[in-house]
Amino acid sequence: EKLAVTTFHAFEFDIVKSNWKKLGYKKELTVIDTVQKYSVINRILKKHPVYEWGGKSFLNYTVSSNYGMKGALAIVADIFSEIKAMDGDENTDPRLLSSVKDLPSNVAKEIVSRYLYYKEELLANGLVDFEDMELNAFSIIDNDPDYLNQHCAYRHIFIDEYQDTSGFQMELVKRLRQNSSFESLMIVGDDWQSIYGFRGTSPEYILNFERHLNSACMYRTINHSVSYTHNSDHVEDLYLTQNWRSKQEILDLSSQLLEYNSSGIKKIIDAARGNGGIVTVQGYDDIEQEYRAIAEMIKAEHDQGIAYDNMAVLAFTKNELRKLASCLTNAGIPSMFGAPEPISENSRIRALLAFVKLLENTENTKNAAIVANAVYRASDLSLTTGIMELPRTEILERVGGVVYMACQINQERNPKEKKEML
């Protein structure tokens, strides 16, 4: 019962939650996700518009990523995250931010100036996003160098999935080693499985663990000139080279591919399950040809007596899986999406919520258009365009039809009937 089991983020949040008043928050803290973060940014852009900014960013206002395209909310969120990561504020020079590369300089400057309003809203309402957890936790630790010794006096520390560690997390590990209670540290990870680079993590911290562990701790947020060191520790490496999941042929092919890594720890992996794995590598001229070939393979397997629910297709991105699912549907093959997007980001759920909002205000034609578009797209799964490609009269007719439905529901007095109509 004395074990503390936690993620880095939860550990940092516990520190921040216990010190919310010291950090300037006006209320007890609530963690916000991306959708809630967008909501805060949306309110700020409504209250403090960037008049010079328009174009595709606003046509795709709520899109987080679509064929490399981002909407205004995602762009602003990325800029704010980058400002935080470099300990900046509303006076940060936009030229230092990679997130503004496709924006005119005057627009970038205006967006950066809105960061102050974002920060004020979070403080006033006790809202914390993921970047805040790290920065605020270090603010508390830096202001009180004995904080970890008093509140987190661990003797033994064990950390899993270390290949996906960030610079901040490495720094936290070094700080915990400063505690007078500290006796041992063990990390586990696989440099071949580092996949969270987009979140600021790096396999560098496991590849060169001993060097990073024995480098000086730096005050990252309060006083960049102060550091303290720890007596150098020897690190012992233990290699786990037996694989219990795959057969040897799969491991051999994977190892050949991994030989191309410019950095990494060389390992020879043996299969506990022995030989007998089947691996086929096939190249295609284009992605559509590949999808058709996959569909044909699945049909051939099915004709040989393999049930559809005993087959799976893995892909690198959800976008690929969506395209493939469409191809399978056209080929008459049933499929299920095993890695769906967050429910609040699903286009159908957004359309349902837009319709509920329309009941509140039937003059909101934006919500009506979202619903009309969803109904139009659902009428034919092969459609690749939305209602905005239709003639103007048909757009107005479809949007008007949605508003009429909302009015009909609002006029119904019987609650049961009203619910069924909805």
pLDDT tens digits for 268-299? 899 999 999 888 889 999 999 999 999 999 99
pLDDT tens digits for 310-339? 999 998 888 888 889 889 998 999 998 876
Q: What is the mean pLDDT of the chain?
A: 87
Whether residue 217 is predicted with pLDDT greater than 80 in this model: the reply is no
Cβ density class 310-332: b for 16+ within 10 Å, e for less: eeebeeeeeeebeebbebbeeee
Query: What was the pLDDT predicted at 224?
Result: 46
What residues pair up with 30 in beta bridges, in sequence order?
127
Per mean pLDDT, which range of 5-19, 94-108, 146-160 is the poorest?
94-108
DSSP letter (8 states) at residue 201? B
Query: What was the pLDDT predicted at 421?
Result: 92
pLDDT tens digits for 380-400? 877 878 888 899 999 999 999
Query: What was the pLDDT predicted at 222?
Result: 43
CA distance 213 to 154: 17
pTM to 2 decimal places: 0.65
pLDDT tens digits for 97-142? 888 888 888 988 999 999 999 999 999 999 998 888 888 998 899 8
Three-class SS of residue 139? Answer: helix
Q: Which pLDDT band holds residue 349 (cuts at 50, 70, 90)? A: confident
The answer to whether residues 140 and 22 touch, using CB atoms and an 8 Å cutoff, is: yes
